[in-house]
A and B are shown apart, each in its own frame.
Chain A
Amino acid sequence: MMDPQGADGAPGIVVSEHKVSLHGDWTLRSIAPCVSGLRRSLAAVPAGAAWSLTEIGRFDSFAATLLWRAWGGKWAASLEASESQKNALDAISRHAVQRLPKPACWTLIDFVVGLGATVLVLLSHIADMIRLVGQLFLDLVHVLRHPMDAPLKEISAGVYKMGVKAMPVAALVGFLIGVVLSYLSALQLKAFGADIFIVNILGLGIIRELGPVLVSILVAGRSGSAMTAQLGVMRVTEEIDALSAMGISRTLRLVLPKVVALTLAMPLLVLWTSGMALLGGMVSAWIQLDLSFAFFVDTLPKAVPIANLYIGFFKGALFGLLIALIACHFGLRVKPNTESLSANTTASVVTAITMVILADAVLAIATRSIGVPL
């Protein structure tokens, strides 16, 4: 048993003639407060001096490194030290010259490689996406043929988590946007004396465009990121591998319920949010233009053909599908480390929002002759 000699003594150096003797505790913790002073004293020791380490209490490998550097990378000509101190120095001497391999530096070739890799990654995203959609389709067929395997509980949990729980925030955002939109339009319309067209503007704009896009952005940030992070963490903790090992299809259990749930929940959420936005618009129109609620509700069906509601529903479902697919796609691509998790979550939200707006633009052109009163 070693005696507890570690009574803390500050490290010190005594230089006399050609003899250097060190005393005190030479450990990282005791050296830390006075490291620059010690470095200087060590450097000032004349070459060829005789070193004595016998007075030292505790001696760790940081101290050994300091000494080894002071000696210029070779053993001191004359050294008095205990066996274990010599061992520590010896261990350092073996590793002081050899450099650790470093991650390679960035060169021009890497730029070309990086460019190529970007293209390949893009292709692999597309391939993965197609594979995912195909697999989901097969799973759907499987579920239709074996209704017992349908992940109904997961789907209903998904509708609750992604739909019902998003209702308060969607209502708030929708209502406020409605108020703002109505207020701004009312200012202009008043100038032309075209007050009653507020119903057309709000009805068409909110039901057809704003409602679905607004909800999509909200849901992409809220549920899309959650989905990606959940799948990603399951990858990091090897849960997904464990599921595969148990013979459970990860698409059937993890991806399909999310995709189905969001595709079902989104149209309802769009309806709810659009309703709230119209309510906000109504309140604002009433205050600003003195249009009564009864008039607003009366005029709405005449000003906005019912086809617009169907388009809104369809957009909701389509955007929900897109968001869920993209979120799951990125979630499954997460590599088992935290960096990749955060990168994929960001990519998931950004891509989902971009794709939704892209799809919205395409739809706007495709449906330009439907449901627009001339």
Chain B
Amino acid sequence: MVSLTGIGTRFGPTVIHEGLDLEVARGEMVSLVGGSGSGKTTLLRHIIGLTRPYAGQVELFGEPLFSGSATVQRDRRRRFGVLFQQGALCSALNVAENIAFPLRELRVASPAEVDTLVAQKMAMVELEPHHAVLMPAELSGGMVKRVALARALVLEPELLLLDEPTAGLDPDRSASFVALIRELHKRLSLTVMLVTHDVDTLAALSTKIAVLAERRIVSYASLEETVTFDHPFVERFFGGEQGRRALARHHGEHR
């Protein structure tokens, strides 16, 4: 689904990635973890095609990201949905228009169908109907996240790229977000790649965990294996007070 080989990134003299490899199979839910500033967002931007690594190859759905004609590339872009770390809503459009935007661009659904789908997506992320006419500047931080998530989901893409989807959400909403992604995953055999610092979300969702440290993916394995992986970052991430408690909760649920 997503295949990164030998990715190298540098901003000026600072090297962010070097010889980074990652292979995400269809149907996986991959959590990308790593310290702040380790280049997780940058990696997602490579996958989306917003930036190009100076070395290495990005492949999406089995084809190089920038191959084919303009239409082929556009159609490829419509197969994934992105949630940006800051939301990145269009500030000139209201909530409903923001969510409907990718759908309208496709020119497949009739206006009434667009309305229905938007209403359903808004309910999915627990937004009230009367929020539809609010402008992005009038939303709280967490609401921006949820609108952006609804927009990422509106085309029900095969691949979801989420940059810290639960940051800024209350624990209750985080939990319902996890349930939502799981449901979508089951119905659409969705592939998800998310960046998160929240061990609860990570433990509940991921089938695989990719650890980004030392400029490359040092470990790509299931939760159980990752926890036992011997690396200072992993130790701090899962071994800390919060991490241990979250893992304990997770194991409790599964017994």
Contact = CB atoms under 8 A, between A and B. Distances in A.
Interface string B117-151: 11111011000011011011100000000000000
Contacts of A101: 129-130, 132-133
A69 B113 contact: yes
Contacts of B155: 28-29
A6 B130 CA distance: 37
B185 interface: yes
Interface stretch (B33-41, B168-176, B186-194): B186-194
B99 to A, nearest CB: 10
A40 to B, nearest CB: 14
A285 to B, nearest CB: 53
Given A4-B189, A5-B189, A101-B129, A95 B108 contact: no
Interface string A322-361: 0000000000000111110000000000000000000000
A98 interface: yes
Given A2-B185, A28-B156, A91 B123 contact: yes
A68 B186 CA distance: 21
Interface stretch (A81-89, A174-182, A290-298): A81-89
A103 interface: yes
A58 B189 contact: yes
Given A32-B106, A58-B187, A91-B123, A339 B27 contact: no
B137 to A, nearest CB: 4
A41 to B, nearest CB: 16
Given A2-B186, A62-B117, A103-B133, A32 B108 contact: yes
Tell me the dominant secondary structure on chain A's binding face.
helix
B207 A1 contact: yes
A217 to B, nearest CB: 29
Tell me the dominant secondary structure on chain B's binding face.
helix
Contact of A35 (B78, B108, B124, B136): B108
A15 interface: no
A3 B119 CA distance: 30
A61 B119 contact: no
B183 interface: yes
Nearest to B100: A100
A95 B156 contact: no
B115 A4 contact: no
B116 interface: yes
Contacts of B91: 236, 336-339
Contacts of A28: 106, 108-109, 155-156
Interface residues of B, number: 41
A29 B26 contact: no
Given A1-B27, A28-B109, A32-B106, 7 more contacts: A29-B78, A31-B108, A61-B120, A99-B115, A103-B133, A336-B137, A337-B92
A95 B116 CA distance: 6
11 contacts: A27-B188, A28-B109, A32-B106, A58-B187, A84-B186, A94-B120, A101-B129, A101-B133, A337-B91, A337-B137, A338-B92
Contacts of B118: 100
For A1, A4, A84, A100, which residue has the most chain B Cβ atoms within 10 angstroms?
A100
Contacts of B135: 337
B121 to A, nearest CB: 8
B120 A100 contact: no
Nearest to A82: B187
A103 B113 contact: no
Interface in B156-170: 156, 158
A103 B132 CA distance: 9
A95 B132 CA distance: 14
For B25, B91, B118, which residue has the most chain A Cβ atoms within 10 angstroms?
B91
B27 A2 contact: yes
B245 interface: no
Contacts of B90: 338
For B25, B90, B92, B185, which residue has the most chain A Cβ atoms within 10 angstroms?
B92
A134 B186 CA distance: 63
Given A1-B27, A101-B130, A65 B186 contact: no
Contacts of A338: 90-92
